[in-house]
Structure 1
């Protein structure tokens, strides 16, 4: 027998689907809904004539294994045909939750099983998950439960090897740096960047150089909590050029992965319209526009629904938790960090520009993050796309992306 740990953040435990009240229902977002063979047969042979009729007409056979037996053919609006006029799922309404397909019954839940633990999370493409993560001060508190399991259950097909001790220690250091009180969340990001550079300097040798790493970590915590800024105000021209390049590349991804009229694409179009680079005659104009974005962001962080200090911290803690940062490959740790920075920078710019044209409330934040997460968390090529963006921004200098933090 061995001890197996189950980890669930509070937001996972508290989540409840809000059904037709959802801002962006998962039943109408042009997603691919696959049906397992058992569920397929249950629908087409249902005693409910309306459900059986819809199933026979709209379940397209794939026959790619039991769990990928068919898929739902969406209507011209990208909506599931089993959704009624009240935006309620007919399957859930008439046949009960147990009749839902695996895809529908598990979304937005996710779990990753390791040999010694299972980590539960939920995807931010669901706006209700965004609300639970950002706007609950306890959202990222972790609940842990131990259970005794037979040895053979710790070596199941598809599960991952246990995280190394080095990975777990670095994860804890990173978690505490993001969670630490500071003047603003960008200071925490810069502290984590400096900590990563320290780890690279000692070649991740925590066994022999732990005291040195711990001293550096403690110094960073002290600087954060004392209010001393870790952000550099230098290289302003290069910083603005990097920011514009980052927005251009991220916008290309948003455009390529978004349906016309989506909230993500709309947000990027607002940024492009605001910057209007084609009409800018010199660097001073671009600098003034980025200064206005920064000022608007600071106002949002002081006066909007983002003003509570836990809101943005929870968002970054979610990113660390869901990716189990830094992962097993220490050689890519800065690359993993830059993906978080790029994501945060893009959301920051979209919300800042949006707020110049209207109020930013919880619903706008929820829809913005959910819409962008839909394009990133459900796309198998996004890491490669993000890495391409990082390489383009860095341009041979591995530290250029740090300019996006300030």
Structure 2
């Protein structure tokens, strides 16, 4: 027998599909695969509506039993099983148990390790994004224990464990982001400093834990007393890096096909606002980015982003969802770079939007969900993101510090 820990944040426990009220339907724009058993169940359903839709819109792929067929969308780009009220006719007519695994599981994600199971959800669902950002205690973690029988213990023993060092780093990172400050970018910079320290000591927390803990408390003190860790003035190097980052993100993310056009439209607005090709000199570029920084400050103070938990919860979600730093601590700076790029992109998308329209909760949720759809639903994402970062950073992952603030 083995004791196995199960972790569920509050947003996972509270989630309920809002159906027709959803800001971006998950029943459009994606490949919805049907496994073999469900494929034949729909074809042979006693309900004539379900069976006729299945015969017309289930295209066999026969790529294994879990990807036996795929749903072809109707002329509006929607799943044909969606009714006039934007509700699923399969669930209505056959019951929730008849849903395909793809539809039944989304947006839930479960990651299993040797000693624990972590439940999460993807931000590509706007309702998940709403719970994460706008419920103050959404990232509170609820833990329980299961007593597993020998058969399951043997299976779990084949999974990769999370080392004690990774778990300690995860806890340090969580607390640095969770520390209360007036500017969440200070928290990001504190985490960057701590990662650099860990690299200097080669992640040797077994022998240097007390030293690491002392440095962590020093960073916490800086955050609590308002001692800024951010660079005071943007440099020509940082401006050039920001332009390069936006260009690469545009080619990697904004030009990707997707279920909606929110990020694509937002990126186009950023590009038109900066209009880099027409600028006369670096001073003009600096003024453009200064305007964006001023808009971001206003949004953090007066919009739906103003509550102190909103952006903090977003970064805590990033740490939890990826189980930062994961099982390979040597990639911790690259993982942090990914986190910084996400924050950097959202900041610029929303700040430029705010120049022409109100940034309210629905707009924020659609932007986050649209971005997550592009960055969390690709089997080649890690490879493409690493290539993108290499294009941005010119061989130096420390350059991500210039994107903060």
TM-score, with normalisation over the residues of structure 2?
Answer: 0.97
Say whether residues 1:138 and 2:137 are aligned partners.
yes
Deviation per CA, 1:256-294: give whole Å up to 9, x if none.
313496111001001001001121011111000000000
Partner residue of 1:341? 340
Q: Indicate the larger mover: 14-23 or 144-153.
A: 144-153
**Residue pair 2:114, 2:157 contacting (<8 A) in 1 also:** no
1:24–1:158 Cα change, 3 Å: farther
**Residue pair 2:120, 2:321 contacting (<8 A) in 1 also:** yes
For this pair of structures, how many residues does the alignment match?
A: 405
Partner residue of 1:91? 90
Deviation per CA, 1:359-403: give whole Å up to 9, x if none.
001100000000010011001222222222222222133311210
Query: Take 2:157 and 2:75, find their aligned partners in 1: how far apart are those partners?
Result: 37
Query: Take 1:154 and 1:221, find their aligned partners in 2: how far apart are those partners?
Result: 39
Query: Take 1:3 and 1:283, find their aligned partners in 2: how far apart are those partners?
Result: 60
Alignment of 1:262-281 (within 5 A): 262-281=261-280
Partner residue of 2:201? 202
What is the CA RMSD across the aligned residues, in angstroms? 1.4
Partner residue of 1:361? 360
Query: Take 1:78 and 1:359, find their aligned partners in 2: how far apart are those partners?
Result: 29
Offset of residue 185 of structure 1: 0.5
Query: Take 1:159 and 1:254, find their aligned partners in 2: how far apart are those partners?
Result: 35
Say whether residues 1:61 and 2:60 are aligned partners.
yes
Partner residue of 2:20? 20
**Residue pair 1:183, 1:224 contacting (<8 A) in 2 also:** no
SS at match of 1:6: strand
Query: Take 1:58 and 1:259, find their aligned partners in 2: how far apart are those partners?
Result: 20
Say whether residues 1:384 and 2:377 are aligned partners.
no
Query: Take 1:9 and 1:150, find their aligned partners in 2: how far apart are those partners?
Result: 26
Say whether residues 1:290 and 2:251 are aligned partners.
no
Q: Indicate the larger mover: 301-310 or 381-390.
A: 381-390
Query: Take 2:399 and 2:239, find their aligned partners in 1: how far apart are those partners?
Result: 11
Query: Take 2:157 and 2:3, find their aligned partners in 1: how far apart are those partners?
Result: 19
Deviation per CA, 1:80-111: give whole Å up to 9, x if none.
01111111111011111111000001100010
Structure 1: where are the runs of 5+ without partners? none
Partner residue of 1:11? 11
Partner residue of 1:186? 185
Structure 2: where are the runs of 5+ without partners? none
Offset of residue 250 of structure 1: 0.4
Partner residue of 1:118? 117
**Residue pair 2:334, 2:397 contacting (<8 A) in 1 also:** no
Query: Take 2:134 and 2:342, find their aligned partners in 1: how far apart are those partners?
Result: 19
1:251–1:140 Cα change, 3 Å: same
Say whether residues 1:177 and 2:188 are aligned partners.
no
Query: Take 1:118 and 1:260, find their aligned partners in 2: how far apart are those partners?
Result: 30
Deviation per CA, 1:41-76: give whole Å up to 9, x if none.
111111111110010111111222222211111123
Offset of residue 2 of structure 1: 0.6
Q: Indicate the larger mover: 193-202 or 35-44.
A: 35-44
**Residue pair 1:254, 1:268 contacting (<8 A) in 2 also:** no
Partner residue of 1:313? 312
Query: Take 1:206 and 1:361, find their aligned partners in 2: how far apart are those partners?
Result: 44
SS at match of 2:378: coil
Query: Take 2:66 and 2:157, find their aligned partners in 1: how far apart are those partners?
Result: 16
Query: Take 1:111 and 1:35, find their aligned partners in 2: how far apart are those partners?
Result: 20
TM-score, with normalisation over the residues of structure 1?
Answer: 0.97
Q: Indicate the larger mover: 131-140 or 33-42.
A: 33-42
Query: Take 1:75 and 1:138, find their aligned partners in 2: how far apart are those partners?
Result: 40
SS at match of 2:397: coil
Query: Take 2:158 and 2:74, find their aligned partners in 1: how far apart are those partners?
Result: 37
